[in-house]
Amino acid sequence: MASLQSACVATSRTNQLLCAHSGLVFASLLALGVFGIAGWMPLIPPGMSAADVAMEFQANRWRIRLGMSVLAFGSVFWWTMSAAIAMQMKRIEGASHPLTYVQMASSCGTVLIALLAAYFWLIAAYRAETSPANIQLLNDLAWITFIGFYPPAFIQNVAIGWCILTDRNEVQAYPRWVGYANIWIAVLFVPGALLPFFHGGPFAWNGVIGFWLVAVAFFGWIFMMWRMTVRAIRNDPSLG
Amino acid sequence: MQLAKQAATSPGESAGSAARVTPGEIRVPGESGFWILILGDLTAFALMFCVFIYYRGHDVGLYLDSQLRLNRAFGALNVVLLLTSSWCVVQGVEAFRERITQRARRCFGAGFLLGAGFVVVKVLEYGDKVREGIAASTNEFFMFFYVLTGIHLLHLVIGLGVLAWMRAKSRSEWSTHRDVALAECGGVYWHMVDLLWVALFALLYLLR
Amino acid sequence: MESGRPASSTTTVWLVLLVASAASLWLGSDATDRSHTAAAVGVLAIAFAKIWLIVRYFMEVRFAPLWLRLSLDAWVAGVFVAITALYLTFAVG
């Protein structure tokens, strides 16, 4: 009986670690798909004319479709990573764990960002011979979704941060600074709200604030939560 | 669990006593982790300040002309309101530490009112500009004006919530080390809102 | 009112801050016949001096451990230098 118990614990530990590491898979596939294969570094500027956008999709339709397929596949690993974080939050909250639900539910938002954007771009490349206005619309749909869709990510991070900061257990899953960092990064996502107002400049989807600040915060968060969640799994007393 | 946590002492504070600060004692105001939020937010704003100056450099004439349409009086009044509000909050945190609840409540209340005054002035200022037909899309200078002061205003409104919480917390005679640390965090956040306005006032209203 | 406690020094700082604000308001107005550049650098210097005072005295960082004091001093100094440098780069001509 005891060996079955410890086997279950070992499996649980392995699965949690797999989920935690999957965050890196998400980040890598996203970067590979969008920046590597599709080659959108620098990003397609919002101020680009419809004709030029259409030309981009016609000229590069194979690269774009391949890159977006990679992005689409990679998007689901945000769920697996969020599940690892959810396990820690459940450990912190105990029997009554509303914040865990908030975190898990809002993680769907970020998965949607990657999935929807990937499919909008895929469709634009699929029918690249359609009118430039259509292509531009699909392109706009994709970019604004991909970068500006901040509310779910915001509430996901706030839930994590709040959970960590109200942790009353003896063994803290995450150190308190991680809680504060989550709140800060949540705030850094808010400039996404400005994207629909600008076709250029620092607050547009390719701007210093609109893109770069948000992107650095986003990838920084993934790296931080990856390291700190693995650490949390390792210091979990219930996992031995 | 909860009692065990609250009885835990931090360096320099004896268990069970009021969270008295020995003048000159070296300690982190609030708690260490909280400063990630402050330093992080300060860094984000620093980036925005630099971006503003950079963009300004490419069209100085436009920025100088547009700046003349700003109401300096409103800006300066807001500086005074926030500086005084910060002063009140400093007194309030002191009183909170000493468990002088009446004074703490009055100080936080005053700080809140002065901060609310800032909001009123800002709304009046925005209203004036809108009536003159100036929006964020008018030109680059006003884009920065609205976005930067808008983000600051958001921070301030959150700060008002923090001050209200601190005032409510001052009600009970019994507050823990944790409460004092949180009150200090709240104070530090408010002072950050204050100092960000000092920077914005200089950059937007005074820099010629 | 506690006298001789940190409260009185923060009151002094508050008064200094108000005076400094008035000074920078004067510097920043077109009423002066100084060159824009010198006045602008003055405005920035006063602003960041005020910020430093707020950090030291209002945030009570003067009682903080070295790492925190240095981080904040570095921010104040760094941002002041960056902004002033950027301003001066574009101010010439």
C43 pLDDT higher than 50: yes
pLDDT value of position C90: 86
Handedness of CA C47, C51, C53, C54 (dihedral sign): positive
Instruction: Tell me how close the Cα of C12 comes to any Cα of chain B, in angstroms.
Output: 10
Model confidence over A21-33: pLDDT tens digits?
999 999 999 999 9
- Contact status, residue B100 vs residue B66, Cβ threshold 8 Å: no
Which of residues B57 and B22 earns the better pLDDT score? B57
A208 to each of A42, A115, A211, B67, B108, how far by Cα in Å? 12, 24, 6, 23, 37
Model confidence over C71-92: pLDDT tens digits?
999 999 999 999 999 999 987 6
Mutate which of A169, A208, A212, A218 to disrupt the B interface (most B C-beta within 10 Å)? Answer: A208
Q: Does B13 reside within a domain?
A: no
Per-residue confidence at B12, pLDDT binned at 50, 70, 90?
A: very low
- Contact status, residue A107 vs residue A82, Cβ threshold 8 Å: yes
The CATH number linked to B50 is: 1.20.120.80
Cβ <8 Å between C44 and B202: yes
pLDDT value of position A238: 86
d(CA C44, CA B148): 17
Taking the model in full, what pTM does it have?
Answer: 0.90
d(CA A183, CA B37): 7
Per-residue confidence at C32, pLDDT binned at 50, 70, 90?
A: low
Which of residues B116 and C8 earns the better pLDDT score? B116
Model confidence over A130-158: pLDDT tens digits?
999 999 999 999 999 999 999 999 999 99
Q: Does B137 reside within a domain?
A: yes
Q: Does B64 reside within a domain?
A: yes
d(CA C65, CA B23): 14
All residues of chain A having their beta carbon less than 8 Å from the beta carbon of residue B49 are none
A73 pLDDT higher than 60: yes
A12 pLDDT higher than 70: yes
Q: Does B135 reside within a domain?
A: yes
Q: In the structure encoding, which two tokens stand for residue C74, read together?
A: 């570095």
Indicate the range of A46-50, A232-236, C27-31 predicted with least confidence: C27-31
Across all residues in chain A, what is the average pLDDT?
94
Model confidence over A89-140: pLDDT tens digits?
999 999 999 999 999 999 999 999 999 999 999 999 999 999 999 999 999 9
Instruction: Tell me how close the Cα of B7 comes to any Cα of chain C, in angstroms.
Output: 23
Q: What are phi and psi of B124, to 5 degrees?
A: -60, -45
Q: In sequence order, which residues have a C-beta less than 8 Å from that of residue B40 and are 6 or more positions away?
A: A181, A184, A185, A188
Q: Does B23 reside within a domain?
A: no
Handedness of CA B129, B130, B133, B134 (dihedral sign): positive
Element (H, E) at B178: helix B177-200
**Would the ipTM clear 0.85, i.e. be above it?**
yes
Q: In the structure encoding, which two tokens stand for residue B53, read together?
A: 């100056």
Q: Does B55 reside within a domain?
A: yes
Instruction: Tell me how close the Cα of C57 comes to any Cα of chain B, in angstroms.
Output: 9
Q: Does B16 reside within a domain?
A: no
Task: Say how many domains are in chain B.
Answer: 1
Give the domain range for residue B100. Answer: 33-206
Q: Does B26 reside within a domain?
A: no
pLDDT value of position A165: 94
pLDDT value of position B174: 60
